[in-house]
Chain A
């Protein structure tokens, strides 16, 4: 108890347990009474501390030991409850985790099955080649034109060939044909009029078949969601064979002559040549404007020729009517693409006649015929 000799503050006394027990409970084990009386200054400090301590009493609602025991018992019950809850929660979490895992496993399994099924299904029928695959194989800077309107649309290719693209069809073609081949890709239906160039054969890739021509007009109908592909020839000669992508089908080429058609059954990979198109109801029905119209003109007014072209290609032709009223032509335009037809007509009218094409708008400028 030597440290109390250094006490100088009330705080020092307040935190002294022995001092507290003396003040509060009159248990003077360390002789506080005598120590206090040793010095007057000390007595004053001790008195202040004593008074403060007495003023700071706290009401103690003393719990009996049975109260404490009951509380302890209560606490143990709480502990058991909480532990049970905890294990239950753990179980739940584990259960959920297992559920989740098995769910994920099942999902994965189904995904694999789906992929496997998809693959095997389409491997079995890997014969079905769609436009997208074709394009994917040959993505060398192709231009894609889609006809979303309800009317046929004319497309003029860089070599002067024209394609009348039917609604819901699309054609991919290079901006400029390079190399020794001209290749275009079709999905849907189009009427092709190919400018003649024996050095550069023209290929139409449509679904599983390839149509090779040098200069002719023909129709290709190859919708990816239809069971067959149709080729109908108007003029010239057309060679049809199956695409290299389709390995199993017969490699032979089929030659089609004017007014002959070919139907390719995509499921069997069988070519079905139709020699008389008038006897095939489906084909006869589907013959469009352009195929019915005759482009054999014998002393016919230019205005009427333009009208025929307008009807065939669904274009608008703007020409100086008053200057060309008296112009009559005799010509055969049957086997020519649109640009070729226009060239021939313009040449026939006179040297100072020319045309300009802008989409489906054609403008003829002319000073009149010779």
Chain B
């Protein structure tokens, strides 16, 4: 479990990246293994076609290797990969005639639904209620706010990197994140007492 969220590895991303650029296949494979799973999860949140998503991610890595000579050395590897996958999936939509209307990167919707992990809440019924309610509020947020939150708190990308990925400036990205949480907090302060009341009433 622990290795998944905190990948323990002696070599950091940028060392691997630079080795990759000079043609080290091992470094390429290590980076692939390190991020493939995350990228699949992220990709699946952008497109309902799981197979195509994996195809896109593999294409991203293929291009990285084939065109390694023209890669920049100083990049944040994770956000580079995420943003490449995002672009690649957007292009997939473009090529697909059915999706012609939603051709730009901005238009691809973040489809992911935040979920509640039930087993963690078994001990605390009140908390469970709150979490379910919060989850509902979160899922009602605009897709871009959701995506920003996801990238920020699940993938640990910085606001700058998110701004770059979503093709907006820093302030807009920051606003996306902030507004998401703000609406949430407002809603939740107002209704929490009510929930608490209801909850205590049923008890």
Which A residues contact B (CB, under 8 angstroms)?
Answer: 10-11, 14-15, 17, 20-21, 24-27, 48, 51-63, 65, 68-69, 71-72, 74-75, 78-79, 82-83, 86
Contacts and interface: CB of A to CB of B under 8 A. Distances in A.
Main secondary structure of the interface of B (DSSP, over half): helix
B150 A58 contact: yes
A128 B115 CA distance: 98
Contact of A15 (B58, B66, B150, B156): B156
Interface in B104-142: 112-117, 120-121, 127, 130-135, 137-138
B33 A54 contact: no
A20 B5 contact: yes
A83 B68 CA distance: 12
Contacts of B54: 71
Contacts of A62: 4, 37
Contact of B37 (A52, A59, A63, A78): A63
A75 B130 CA distance: 44
A57 B62 contact: no
B154 interface: yes
B29 A56 contact: no
Contacts of B114: 55-58
Contacts of B93: none
B177 A11 contact: yes
A57 B5 CA distance: 13
7 contacts: A51-B127, A58-B150, A68-B37, A72-B29, A75-B62, A78-B59, A82-B62
| Top 10 closest pairs, chain A to chain B, by CB | A55-B134, A55-B135, A78-B62, A75-B58, A14-B153, A55-B131, A57-B117, A54-B131, A56-B114, A79-B65
B117 A61 contact: no
Contacts of B91: none
B183 interface: no
B33 to A, nearest CB: 6
B181 interface: yes
A180 B134 CA distance: 114
Given A51-B134, A56-B150, A71-B54, 14 more contacts: A27-B1, A27-B2, A51-B131, A52-B134, A54-B120, A54-B121, A54-B127, A55-B114, A56-B138, A59-B113, A65-B33, A71-B32, A75-B32, A86-B66
